[in-house]
């Protein structure tokens, strides 16, 4: 299975809608342990991405993703701007000049994006961040693909593991960001960054699922 430039544009547009729908939910999660702006900031960023999308239409997938990253960096305002911005820019670097993506491209993109986030945020799995959704998702994506079960099943499995990662963030204390000031008192609260990362992965899974029907 292969994703085209058009698929990538559709997925970005869908992510923008999902973030808008979950704006209040993400902000409420952030209000409990952070500064109550995660949903507002991300929605501002992805709205700006959507406004710029007409300029992306004639670009290759690498350029599109790099542009998405740049827009997020310039418009989000909170920590999720540099983090998701770096994620999209690093993904774009890996697929420069490409107009289609195969399974290997998708794994390579996700790997590059995640390592970008880890570098930028100096965080790792277990710190109660977006990484707690992304890393299990990437591992599951790779292992499902290596069993030859195809992209649709692999991304669906990845989204499930991302969700389990989100639930796991309730049981641990934050080591990064504003929530880390709360230390042990952040236990019991679900991490907003992990939640937004899951929502994005789930959006890709839902799109790929419909493609094959």
Partner 1 sequence: MVGIVIVSHSKKVADGLYELADQMTGGKIRIGRSGGTKDGRLGTNVDEIVEEIKKCESGDGVLILVDLGSSVMSAQMALEFLGEDYENKVKIADAPLVEGTIAASVEASIGSDILKVKAVAEAAKNLVKI
CB of 83 to partner 1, least distance (A): 7
81 binds partner 1 (CB under 8 A): yes
179 binds partner 1 (CB under 8 A): no
**If 0-12 CB within 10 Å is exposed, 13-18 middle and 19+ buried, where does residue 180 land?**
middle
From CA 132, how far away is CA 113, in angstroms rounded? 14
Q: Which stretch binds partner 1 (CB under 8 A): 72-80, 103-111, 186-194, 200-208?
A: 72-80
52 binds partner 1 (CB under 8 A): no
Retrieve residue 160's tokens: 């499930």
DSSP letter for each residue of the chain: --EEHHHHHHHHHHHHHHHHHTHHHHHHHHHHHS-S-HHHHHHHHHHHHHHHGGGGTTS-HHHHHHHHHHHHHHH--STHHHHHHHHHHHHHHHTTT-SEE-HHHHHHHHHHHHHHHHHHHT--TTSSSTHHHHHHHHHHHHHHHHTT-HHHHHHHHHHHHHHHHHHHGGGS---SSGGGGGGGGGTTS--HHHHHHHHHHHHHHHHHHHHH-
Mask for 101-130, x = binds partner 1 (CB under 8 A): -------------------xx---------
Q: Which stretch binds partner 1 (CB under 8 A): 25-33, 69-77, 144-152, 155-163?
A: 69-77
Q: Which stretch binds partner 1 (CB under 8 A): 23-31, 68-76, 101-109, 188-196?
A: 68-76
Q: Which stretch binds partner 1 (CB under 8 A): 76-84, 125-133, 145-153, 202-210?
A: 76-84
Q: Which residue is associated with the tokens 């929605």?
A: 43
| Nearer Cβ to partner 1 (37/103) | 37
CB of 55 to partner 1, least distance (A): 17
Instruction: Tell me which residue of 105, 80, 96 sits closest to 176, measured CA to CA.
Output: 80
134 binds partner 1 (CB under 8 A): no
Q: Which stretch binds partner 1 (CB under 8 A): 17-25, 33-41, 59-67, 152-160?
A: 33-41
192 binds partner 1 (CB under 8 A): no
78 binds partner 1 (CB under 8 A): yes
CB of 26 to partner 1, least distance (A): 15
174 binds partner 1 (CB under 8 A): no
Q: Which residues contribute to the site for partner 1 (CB under 8 A)?
A: 37, 40-41, 44, 73-83, 85-86, 120-121, 177-178
């Amino acid at each position: 299975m292969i994703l085209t430039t058009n698929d990538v544009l559709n997925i970005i547009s869908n992510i923008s809608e999902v973030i808008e729908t979950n704006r209040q939910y993400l902000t409420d999660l952030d209000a409990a342990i952070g500064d109550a702006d995660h949903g507002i900031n991300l929605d501002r960023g992805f709205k700006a991405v959507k406004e710029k999308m007409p300029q992306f239409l004639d670009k290759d997938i690498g350029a599109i993703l790099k542009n998405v990253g740049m827009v997020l960096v310039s418009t989000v305002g909170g920590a999720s701007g540099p983090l998701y911005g770096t994620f999209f820019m690093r993904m774009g670097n890996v697929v420069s000049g490409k107009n289609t993506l195969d399974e290997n491209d998708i794994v390579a993109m996700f790997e590059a994006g995640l390592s970008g986030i880890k570098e930028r945020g100096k965080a790792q799995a277990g710190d109660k961040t977006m990484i707690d959704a992304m890393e299990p998702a990437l591992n599951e994506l790779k292992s499902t693909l290596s069993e030859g079960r195809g992209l649709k099943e692999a991304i669906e499995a990845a989204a499930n593991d991302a969700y389990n990662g989100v639930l796991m963030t309730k049981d641990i204390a934050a080591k990064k960001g504003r929530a880390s000031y709360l230390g042990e008192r952040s236990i019991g609260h679900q991490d907003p960054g992990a939640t937004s990362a899951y929502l994005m992965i789930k959006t890709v899974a839902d799109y790929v699922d419909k493609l094959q029907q």
